[in-house]
Amino acid sequence: MKACVDIGGTKVAVSLAEDGRKELQARQAEPTAKEGAPDAVAQQVMRLIDAACAQLGVPAASVDGVGVSAAGPFILDAGGAVELATPNICGGLAGPARGLPNDWTSAVIEAPLRRRYGRVRVENDAVSALEAERRWGALQGLDHCAYVTWSTGVGVGLCVDGRTLRGKGGNAGHAGHSFVADDDNQHALCGCGNVGDVEGLVAGNAIERRFGMPAAQLFGAARAGDARALGITDGLVRVMGRLLYNLVVTLDLQRVSLGGSVFLHNRDLLLPRLQAQIDGRLPALTQGVRLAAAGLGEQVGDYAALALVA
Protein backbone atom coordinates (compact mmCIF):
# COMPACT_ATOMS: atom_id res chain seq x y z
CA MET A 1 0.00 0.00 0.00
CA LYS A 2 1.23 3.48 -0.89
CA ALA A 3 0.33 6.74 0.86
CA CYS A 4 -0.18 9.88 -1.22
CA VAL A 5 0.29 13.14 0.65
CA ASP A 6 -0.50 16.65 -0.54
CA ILE A 7 0.84 19.46 1.68
CA GLY A 8 -0.27 23.01 0.99
CA GLY A 9 -0.23 26.20 2.99
CA THR A 10 -3.84 25.76 4.02
CA LYS A 11 -4.48 22.01 4.09
CA VAL A 12 -2.88 18.60 4.24
CA ALA A 13 -4.57 15.74 2.39
CA VAL A 14 -3.68 12.04 2.54
CA SER A 15 -5.03 9.09 0.58
CA LEU A 16 -4.03 5.50 0.00
CA ALA A 17 -3.51 3.54 -3.19
CA GLU A 18 -3.01 -0.18 -3.65
CA ASP A 19 0.24 -1.08 -5.38
CA GLY A 20 -0.09 -0.72 -9.13
CA ARG A 21 -3.53 0.90 -8.97
CA LYS A 22 -4.48 4.44 -10.02
CA GLU A 23 -7.28 4.72 -7.51
CA LEU A 24 -7.09 6.95 -4.44
CA GLN A 25 -8.93 5.72 -1.36
CA ALA A 26 -9.79 6.74 2.22
CA ARG A 27 -8.97 10.43 1.74
CA GLN A 28 -8.27 12.38 4.94
CA ALA A 29 -7.76 16.15 5.08
CA GLU A 30 -7.11 18.73 7.78
CA PRO A 31 -5.91 22.34 7.98
CA THR A 32 -2.10 22.31 7.87
CA ALA A 33 -0.56 22.00 11.37
CA LYS A 34 1.19 25.25 12.29
CA GLU A 35 1.68 24.99 16.04
CA GLY A 36 4.10 23.03 18.21
CA ALA A 37 7.49 21.64 17.22
CA PRO A 38 8.91 21.94 13.68
CA ASP A 39 7.98 18.29 13.05
CA ALA A 40 4.27 19.00 13.62
CA VAL A 41 3.40 18.64 9.93
CA ALA A 42 5.25 15.30 9.70
CA GLN A 43 3.44 14.06 12.83
CA GLN A 44 0.14 15.20 11.31
CA VAL A 45 0.88 13.33 8.07
CA MET A 46 1.64 10.10 9.96
CA ARG A 47 -1.53 10.47 12.03
CA LEU A 48 -3.61 11.01 8.86
CA ILE A 49 -2.02 7.97 7.20
CA ASP A 50 -2.95 5.92 10.29
CA ALA A 51 -6.52 7.26 10.07
CA ALA A 52 -6.74 6.40 6.36
CA CYS A 53 -5.53 2.85 7.09
CA ALA A 54 -8.13 2.50 9.86
CA GLN A 55 -10.88 3.71 7.52
CA LEU A 56 -9.83 1.22 4.87
CA GLY A 57 -9.42 -1.58 7.42
CA VAL A 58 -5.78 -2.29 6.62
CA PRO A 59 -2.89 -2.41 9.11
CA ALA A 60 -0.83 0.81 9.32
CA ALA A 61 2.26 -1.32 8.75
CA SER A 62 1.04 -2.16 5.23
CA VAL A 63 2.18 1.30 4.03
CA ASP A 64 5.64 0.78 2.54
CA GLY A 65 5.99 3.90 0.40
CA VAL A 66 4.98 7.55 0.69
CA GLY A 67 4.82 10.20 -2.03
CA VAL A 68 4.67 13.79 -0.82
CA SER A 69 3.66 16.61 -3.12
CA ALA A 70 4.34 19.84 -1.24
CA ALA A 71 4.38 23.59 -1.66
CA GLY A 72 7.97 24.80 -1.78
CA PRO A 73 10.55 26.05 -1.55
CA PHE A 74 12.59 23.29 0.09
CA ILE A 75 15.83 23.18 2.00
CA LEU A 76 17.84 19.99 2.60
CA ASP A 77 19.11 18.87 6.01
CA ALA A 78 22.67 17.61 6.54
CA GLY A 79 21.62 14.15 5.37
CA GLY A 80 19.93 15.45 2.22
CA ALA A 81 16.36 15.01 3.49
CA VAL A 82 13.80 17.61 2.39
CA GLU A 83 12.46 20.21 4.83
CA LEU A 84 9.76 22.68 3.86
CA ALA A 85 10.68 26.38 3.88
CA THR A 86 7.18 27.39 2.81
CA PRO A 87 6.30 31.01 3.69
CA ASN A 88 2.65 30.11 4.37
CA ILE A 89 3.64 27.39 6.88
CA CYS A 90 6.86 28.57 8.57
CA GLY A 91 6.37 31.68 10.72
CA GLY A 92 10.10 32.17 11.35
CA LEU A 93 10.80 33.17 7.74
CA ALA A 94 9.00 36.51 7.55
CA GLY A 95 8.83 37.12 11.32
CA PRO A 96 5.92 37.90 13.66
CA ALA A 97 4.35 40.44 11.27
CA ARG A 98 3.25 37.50 9.09
CA GLY A 99 0.93 36.37 11.90
CA LEU A 100 1.72 32.62 11.88
CA PRO A 101 1.58 30.86 15.28
CA ASN A 102 5.13 29.41 15.10
CA ASP A 103 8.74 30.51 14.69
CA TRP A 104 9.83 27.66 12.43
CA THR A 105 12.41 28.45 9.78
CA SER A 106 11.63 25.06 8.23
CA ALA A 107 9.23 22.17 8.77
CA VAL A 108 10.99 18.80 8.80
CA ILE A 109 9.13 16.28 6.67
CA GLU A 110 11.19 13.68 4.85
CA ALA A 111 13.44 12.42 7.69
CA PRO A 112 10.68 11.37 10.13
CA LEU A 113 8.61 9.80 7.32
CA ARG A 114 11.65 7.91 6.06
CA ARG A 115 12.34 6.54 9.55
CA ARG A 116 8.85 5.08 9.69
CA TYR A 117 8.02 4.09 6.10
CA GLY A 118 11.36 3.53 4.37
CA ARG A 119 10.62 4.59 0.84
CA VAL A 120 9.68 8.29 0.73
CA ARG A 121 9.84 10.81 -2.09
CA VAL A 122 9.12 14.50 -1.51
CA GLU A 123 8.77 16.83 -4.48
CA ASN A 124 7.45 20.27 -5.22
CA ASP A 125 3.79 20.18 -6.28
CA ALA A 126 4.56 21.25 -9.86
CA VAL A 127 7.28 18.58 -10.15
CA SER A 128 4.84 15.98 -8.84
CA ALA A 129 2.25 17.13 -11.38
CA LEU A 130 4.88 16.85 -14.12
CA GLU A 131 5.41 13.21 -13.17
CA ALA A 132 1.66 12.57 -13.17
CA GLU A 133 1.32 14.18 -16.62
CA ARG A 134 4.23 12.07 -17.93
CA ARG A 135 2.66 8.89 -16.60
CA TRP A 136 -1.04 9.44 -17.31
CA GLY A 137 -1.57 12.82 -18.99
CA ALA A 138 -0.50 15.05 -21.87
CA LEU A 139 3.26 14.31 -21.55
CA GLN A 140 3.17 10.51 -22.02
CA GLY A 141 6.10 9.16 -23.99
CA LEU A 142 8.06 12.44 -23.92
CA ASP A 143 11.58 12.80 -22.49
CA HIS A 144 11.91 16.60 -22.88
CA CYS A 145 8.94 18.39 -21.40
CA ALA A 146 7.57 20.67 -18.70
CA TYR A 147 4.46 21.13 -16.64
CA VAL A 148 3.41 24.70 -15.84
CA THR A 149 0.64 25.57 -13.42
CA TRP A 150 -1.01 28.98 -13.79
CA SER A 151 -3.10 29.33 -10.66
CA THR A 152 -2.90 31.27 -7.38
CA GLY A 153 0.83 31.00 -8.06
CA VAL A 154 2.93 29.98 -11.06
CA GLY A 155 4.86 26.71 -10.70
CA VAL A 156 7.00 24.68 -13.09
CA GLY A 157 8.26 21.08 -13.24
CA LEU A 158 10.99 20.21 -15.74
CA CYS A 159 12.13 17.01 -17.45
CA VAL A 160 15.18 16.81 -19.75
CA ASP A 161 16.61 13.64 -21.30
CA GLY A 162 13.98 11.64 -19.44
CA ARG A 163 15.13 12.91 -16.04
CA THR A 164 13.15 15.15 -13.73
CA LEU A 165 15.33 18.09 -12.74
CA ARG A 166 15.82 18.61 -8.97
CA GLY A 167 18.68 21.10 -8.39
CA LYS A 168 20.86 21.77 -5.34
CA GLY A 169 17.93 22.07 -2.94
CA GLY A 170 15.18 20.22 -4.78
CA ASN A 171 13.90 23.55 -6.12
CA ALA A 172 14.52 23.30 -9.87
CA GLY A 173 11.54 24.80 -11.71
CA HIS A 174 10.89 27.91 -9.62
CA ALA A 175 10.66 29.83 -12.89
CA GLY A 176 7.53 31.62 -11.67
CA HIS A 177 9.98 33.77 -9.74
CA SER A 178 12.04 34.72 -12.80
CA PHE A 179 11.85 38.13 -14.47
CA VAL A 180 10.69 38.53 -18.05
CA ALA A 181 9.30 42.09 -18.07
CA ASP A 182 10.17 45.57 -16.79
CA ASP A 183 6.79 46.10 -15.19
CA ASP A 184 7.72 46.59 -11.53
CA ASN A 185 4.91 48.67 -10.13
CA GLN A 186 3.97 48.27 -6.49
CA HIS A 187 0.95 46.09 -7.24
CA ALA A 188 3.23 43.39 -8.66
CA LEU A 189 4.63 42.25 -5.30
CA CYS A 190 5.09 38.47 -5.28
CA GLY A 191 4.73 36.36 -2.12
CA CYS A 192 8.46 35.61 -2.42
CA GLY A 193 9.36 39.29 -1.97
CA ASN A 194 10.22 40.01 -5.60
CA VAL A 195 8.46 42.86 -7.35
CA GLY A 196 7.51 42.24 -10.96
CA ASP A 197 8.50 38.59 -11.36
CA VAL A 198 6.21 36.36 -13.46
CA GLU A 199 4.09 35.22 -10.51
CA GLY A 200 3.88 38.79 -9.20
CA LEU A 201 2.53 39.88 -12.59
CA VAL A 202 0.19 37.13 -13.78
CA ALA A 203 -0.80 34.74 -10.95
CA GLY A 204 -4.47 34.65 -10.03
CA ASN A 205 -4.08 36.86 -6.96
CA ALA A 206 -1.81 39.26 -8.90
CA ILE A 207 -4.47 39.71 -11.59
CA GLU A 208 -7.01 40.68 -8.95
CA ARG A 209 -4.56 43.03 -7.19
CA ARG A 210 -3.33 44.73 -10.37
CA PHE A 211 -6.58 45.08 -12.28
CA GLY A 212 -9.22 45.15 -9.55
CA MET A 213 -11.17 42.10 -10.71
CA PRO A 214 -10.87 38.32 -10.44
CA ALA A 215 -9.31 36.43 -13.35
CA ALA A 216 -12.70 34.87 -14.24
CA GLN A 217 -14.28 38.31 -14.65
CA LEU A 218 -11.36 39.70 -16.64
CA PHE A 219 -11.24 36.79 -19.09
CA GLY A 220 -15.04 36.73 -19.36
CA ALA A 221 -14.96 40.37 -20.47
CA ALA A 222 -12.15 39.60 -22.93
CA ARG A 223 -14.18 36.74 -24.38
CA ALA A 224 -17.10 39.15 -24.84
CA GLY A 225 -14.85 41.48 -26.84
CA ASP A 226 -14.21 44.18 -24.22
CA ALA A 227 -11.24 46.16 -25.56
CA ARG A 228 -9.60 46.95 -22.20
CA ALA A 229 -9.93 43.33 -21.02
CA LEU A 230 -8.45 42.09 -24.30
CA GLY A 231 -5.53 44.49 -23.89
CA ILE A 232 -4.88 43.26 -20.33
CA THR A 233 -5.18 39.64 -21.51
CA ASP A 234 -2.57 40.26 -24.23
CA GLY A 235 -0.22 41.75 -21.61
CA LEU A 236 -0.64 38.74 -19.30
CA VAL A 237 -0.17 36.31 -22.20
CA ARG A 238 3.00 38.12 -23.27
CA VAL A 239 4.53 37.61 -19.80
CA MET A 240 3.50 33.95 -19.51
CA GLY A 241 4.39 33.35 -23.19
CA ARG A 242 7.90 34.68 -22.63
CA LEU A 243 8.34 32.36 -19.66
CA LEU A 244 7.19 29.38 -21.76
CA TYR A 245 9.39 30.37 -24.71
CA ASN A 246 12.40 30.79 -22.39
CA LEU A 247 11.83 27.30 -20.96
CA VAL A 248 11.50 25.76 -24.42
CA VAL A 249 14.71 27.27 -25.82
CA THR A 250 16.75 26.90 -22.62
CA LEU A 251 15.95 23.19 -22.21
CA ASP A 252 15.07 22.22 -25.82
CA LEU A 253 11.64 20.95 -24.84
CA GLN A 254 9.12 19.04 -27.00
CA ARG A 255 5.92 19.92 -25.19
CA VAL A 256 4.60 21.87 -22.22
CA SER A 257 1.50 20.75 -20.34
CA LEU A 258 -0.45 23.60 -18.76
CA GLY A 259 -2.67 23.32 -15.71
CA GLY A 260 -3.92 25.42 -12.82
CA SER A 261 -7.28 27.07 -12.36
CA VAL A 262 -6.47 30.35 -14.15
CA PHE A 263 -5.38 28.46 -17.27
CA LEU A 264 -7.84 25.56 -17.25
CA HIS A 265 -10.91 27.74 -16.76
CA ASN A 266 -9.85 29.96 -19.68
CA ARG A 267 -7.97 27.58 -21.95
CA ASP A 268 -10.06 28.49 -25.03
CA LEU A 269 -8.92 32.08 -24.72
CA LEU A 270 -5.35 31.51 -23.47
CA LEU A 271 -4.01 28.40 -25.24
CA PRO A 272 -3.96 29.78 -28.83
CA ARG A 273 -2.56 33.10 -27.66
CA LEU A 274 0.22 31.40 -25.67
CA GLN A 275 1.03 29.09 -28.59
CA ALA A 276 1.44 32.20 -30.77
CA GLN A 277 4.15 33.42 -28.37
CA ILE A 278 6.18 30.29 -29.21
CA ASP A 279 5.49 29.83 -32.91
CA GLY A 280 7.82 31.43 -35.43
CA ARG A 281 10.55 32.35 -32.96
CA LEU A 282 13.85 30.53 -33.51
CA PRO A 283 12.27 27.71 -35.54
CA ALA A 284 15.23 25.33 -35.06
CA LEU A 285 14.15 25.06 -31.43
CA THR A 286 10.43 25.79 -31.52
CA GLN A 287 9.13 24.09 -34.68
CA GLY A 288 6.59 21.47 -33.70
CA VAL A 289 6.67 22.42 -30.02
CA ARG A 290 3.12 22.27 -28.74
CA LEU A 291 1.50 23.65 -25.64
CA ALA A 292 -1.25 21.38 -24.32
CA ALA A 293 -3.86 21.56 -21.59
CA ALA A 294 -3.10 19.12 -18.76
CA GLY A 295 -4.34 15.68 -19.78
CA LEU A 296 -5.43 15.00 -16.21
CA GLY A 297 -7.27 18.33 -16.14
CA GLU A 298 -8.42 19.48 -12.73
CA GLN A 299 -7.40 16.10 -11.27
CA VAL A 300 -3.70 16.56 -11.91
CA GLY A 301 -3.16 17.59 -8.26
CA ASP A 302 -4.94 14.47 -7.00
CA TYR A 303 -2.58 12.16 -8.87
CA ALA A 304 0.60 14.19 -8.32
CA ALA A 305 1.68 12.47 -5.09
CA LEU A 306 0.69 9.04 -6.42
CA ALA A 307 2.98 9.53 -9.43
CA LEU A 308 5.95 9.84 -7.04
CA VAL A 309 5.48 6.33 -5.63
CA ALA A 310 3.51 4.52 -8.37
Residues that bind Zn ion (CB under 5 A): 177, 190, 192, 194, 197, 199
Question: Are 42 and 283 within 8 A, CB to CB?
Answer: no
For 56, 60, 191, 226, the CA distances from 53, given in Å and listed in that order, are 5, 6, 36, 53
Q: Which residue is nearest to Zn ion (CB)?
A: 190
Cβ distance to Zn ion smaller for residue 110 or 199: 199
Cβ distance to Zn ion smaller for residue 12 or 262: 262
Cβ distance to Zn ion smaller for residue 70 or 305: 70
CA 39 to chain CA centroid, Å, is 22
The full length of the chain comes to: 310
Tell the smallest beta-carbon distance from residue 166 to Zn ion (Å).
20
Sheet holding 119-124, edge to edge: 25-31, 11-17, 2-7, 65-70, 119-124
Tell the smallest beta-carbon distance from residue 35 to Zn ion (Å).
27
Cβ distance to Zn ion smaller for residue 139 or 243: 243
Cβ distance to Zn ion smaller for residue 183 or 302: 183
Tell the smallest beta-carbon distance from residue 78 to Zn ion (Å).
28
Cβ distance to Zn ion smaller for residue 194 or 261: 194
Strand segments, DSSP code E, in the chain are 2-7, 11-17, 25-31, 65-70, 74-76, 82-84, 107-108, 119-124, 145-150, 154-160, 163-164, 255-259, 290-293
Tell the smallest beta-carbon distance from residue 45 to Zn ion (Å).
27
Spell out the residues 6+ positions from residue 36 whose beta carbon is closer than 8 angstroms to its own: 43, 102
Tell the smallest beta-carbon distance from residue 27 to Zn ion (Å).
31
Q: Is the peptide bond before 283 cis (omega within 30 degrees of 0)?
A: no
Tell the smallest beta-carbon distance from residue 193 to Zn ion (Å).
7
